[in-house]
A and B are shown apart, each in its own frame.
Chain A
Amino acid sequence: MTRRVKGIVGGVILVILALYPWLFGIYFTNVIVTCAIFALFAVSYNLLLGYTGLFSFGHAMFFGAGGYATALALTHIEGCPLLVALLFGFLGAVALALLLSPIVARLAHSAFAMLHLAFSMLLYTLALKLRGITGGEDGIGGFPIPPFRIPGVVSVDMTDPLNFYYFAMAVLCGSLWVAWFLTKTPFGQIIVSVRDNDKRVDYMGFKVPQTKAIIYTLSCGFAGIAGSIYAMFQNLISAAALGIAQSFAPIVMTMVGGVISFFGPIWGAVIFAVIEELTTRYTERVQLVEGLILIIVILFFPGGFIHIVAIVKGKLLGFTRGKGAGLIKGKWFGK
């Protein structure tokens, strides 16, 4: 696609998102906010997985850290402004990442994955145990959602679902754009090289552990933003946001959407939102449907939705773009 076509597609998407609440009503507006939150969460995850080759099994702890930081700030700081609360969420996740990075940055593969599983379990248990701070199972809820205010210019009520929609979408889409931009910079190229051949990157004079630590921290920061918006959107954050099921979410979304592409996880989030919307109306066996879809996708389309799109495009246009299968075949996730 040329730059111009891309610009037009982007513009059309923006217009649709802007008009969306007027077309579909509050309920589906809330559905899309949830979907966008998980899209950012999954993309932040894929910055580690797809781009850096780091496989984490506890990404929910950064999502949760962001959520708890925001909820705590709004509960305890009188008159905490909206953007400051958001910043707290971002910084909460970043702080946790910085705390862990000396331990994890030198690891890869399953040790990295397991260590994250272990620490997220630890945090989950602590969130239940430290009831005085975290509210235990009930979590922290009912905190005030401050208006979006630029002193002397504007003050927008954020308890209105419509206003919150625009705020959340601005933050989430903005974050997604920043993440995308990041992958296009020279730094983005280095992290991909770390994934493909970290020894060579090392020989070339780049510092591998430091590079990993930076992308790790950024990825966790994005997860924190997703968690922060989630806490404000739900007006509640509870231990479940740190749990294992929450860590599975970005994994399955990324895998179903397509791990090889930046936009794969976004597709994954959309696909799961659609599945949930449909299945919960007709069956109580949501998990069965999700499990079967996961198995089928992994078996037949390991590149995920993006892979399917590539195949269809190839069939239609008569040439293979081959972005899907080729990459997957190289065992780039180790064993």
Chain B
Amino acid sequence: MDATTAMYVAQGIHGLAYGMVLFLVASGLTLIFGMMGILNVAHTAFFMLSAYFCYQVVAWTGSFWLALLLAPIATAIVGILVERFLLRRIHAFGLLFELTLTIGVMFVIMEAVKVFWGTENLPLPVPSLLEGLVSIGGMDYPIYRLFIIGLSLVILGFLAFILYKTRMGMVVRAAVSDADMVNALGINVPRLFMFVFGVGTWLAGLAGVAIAPILTVFPGLADQMGMDAFIVVIVGGFGSLGGALMVAIISGLLSSYGVQFVSQLAPVLMFIFMAVVLAIKPTGFFGEREG
């Protein structure tokens, strides 16, 4: 590959890598909304919490792989507790109350990480196995970013398998379209909700761990990611996994090629895209669920 082609290809892979991380965050958000009708404002706070858990596990054991396993699970446990003891109690009141409650949860998590880990920037190294570059057709590319793409694809496959090939997935999809009916059929919907909320926060947690080595773990991490993730979900259509995947990748590519070709506009490009889509279809690409 000559240098120019290599540059364009590299930008493509950058876009894909970042898009996949976005998808990991957004998928949990959109899953929880689609299933439970909860707009989980605290979602990116869970994402940040997991990055802190990851830092802690690495500090204790020195193993990134253990962190990749444990941190998202710990995050999911926190998520399940929040669902079981807070959200479930007010589910009957509807969206507004659940949302306000998640604002409160977000405030508490943001403050809690400072109580436990302080306010300093906590850096996390790339695991030694994934350090360095690999040559793709004569172009050097960081292995860790390829790992992120790979990991996300595995998760995507796993999600698709669960949702479309298992009985539980069928129940989840049914509950998305009509929770009351599923409940009437004798399935324990509250438990299902708890499960879905756990999976959603687990996904956020996974993204938090995946991105920690290329960023800095600090108390503003949630805000840093939040805007992008919400845009992906809004534009993709609330509750649509496919929409989230598509828009996440478009968003990743827009930001990398945007920097390459129209760098002046790069910071607002995604917003312009969003405004255009929403002006035409206010519910986003695949958003059917009205309210």
Q: Contact: B234 with A117, CB < 8 Å?
A: yes
One of B94, B107, B274 near A118 (C-beta < 8 A): B274
User: A residues 102-126 with Cβ under 8 Å of B?
Assistant: 103-104, 106-111, 113-115, 117-119, 121-122, 125-126
Is B238 an interface residue when CB atoms closer than 8 A count as contact? Answer: yes
**What B residues does A288 contact at CB under 8 A?**
107-108, 111-112, 115
Stretch at the interface among A143-151, A185-193, A207-215, A324-332: A324-332
Q: A298 contacts which of B101, B114, B279 (Cβ < 8 Å)?
A: B101
**Chain B residues within an 8 Å CB radius of A49:** 96
Interface majority SS (helix, strand, loop, mixed), chain B? helix
Closest-by-CB residue of A relative to B287 is A111
User: Chain B's nearest CB lies how many Å from the CB of A117?
Assistant: 7
The answer to whether A291 touches B107, judged by C-beta atoms less than 8 angstroms apart, is yes
- Nearest A residue to B270, CB-CB: A125
| A251 interface residue per 8 A CB criterion | yes
| B283 in contact with A111 (CB, 8 Å) | yes
| Cβ of B25 to closest chain A Cβ, rounded Å | 16
Q: Is the CB of B93 within 8 A of A328?
A: yes
Shortest C-beta distance, A216 to chain B (Å), equals 15
Residue of A nearest to B39 (CB): A110
Could you tell me if A110 and B100 are in contact, using CB atoms closer than 8 angstroms?
no
Contact B94 A333 (CB under 8 A): yes
Q: Are A331 and B94 in contact (CB under 8 A)?
A: yes
**At the interface, yes or no: B62 with Cβ under 8 Å from chain A?**
no
Q: Is B92's CB under 8 angstroms from A334's CB?
A: no
Q: Are A121 and B231 in contact (CB under 8 A)?
A: yes
Q: Whole-angstrom distance from the CB of B121 to the nearest CB of chain A?
A: 18
Distance of A259 Cα from B95 Cα, bound (Å): 14
* A36 cross-chain contacts in B, Cβ below 8 A: none
In the assembled complex, which residues on chain A have CB atoms less than 8 Å from the CB atom of B290? 107-109, 111
- B268 to chain A: which residues have CB within 8 Å? 122, 125-126, 129
| A104 CA to B279 CA, complexed, in Å | 9
What CA separation (Å) do A300 and B90 show in the bound complex?
Answer: 9
Q: Is B104 located at the chain interface by the 8 A CB criterion?
A: yes
B48 CB to nearest A CB, Å = 14
| A299 lies within 8 A of B86 (CB) | yes
What sequence of 0s and 1s flags, for each residue 224-261 of chain A, a beta carbon within 8 Å of any chain B beta carbon? 00000000000000000000100010011001000100
Is the pair A295, B283 in contact by a Cβ cutoff of 8 Å? no
Question: Does B230 count as interface, using CB distance less than 8 angstroms?
Answer: yes
Q: Does B103 contact A (CB under 8 A)?
A: yes
List A contacts of B110 (CB < 8 A).
Answer: 287, 291
Which residues of A does B touch, CB under 8 Å?
Answer: 49, 55, 103-104, 106-111, 113-115, 117-119, 121-122, 125-126, 129, 244, 248, 251-252, 255, 259, 285, 287-288, 290-295, 298-299, 302, 328-329, 331-335
A to B CB contacts below 8 Å, 6 in the list? A111-B282, A111-B290, A121-B230, A255-B97, A292-B104, A328-B97
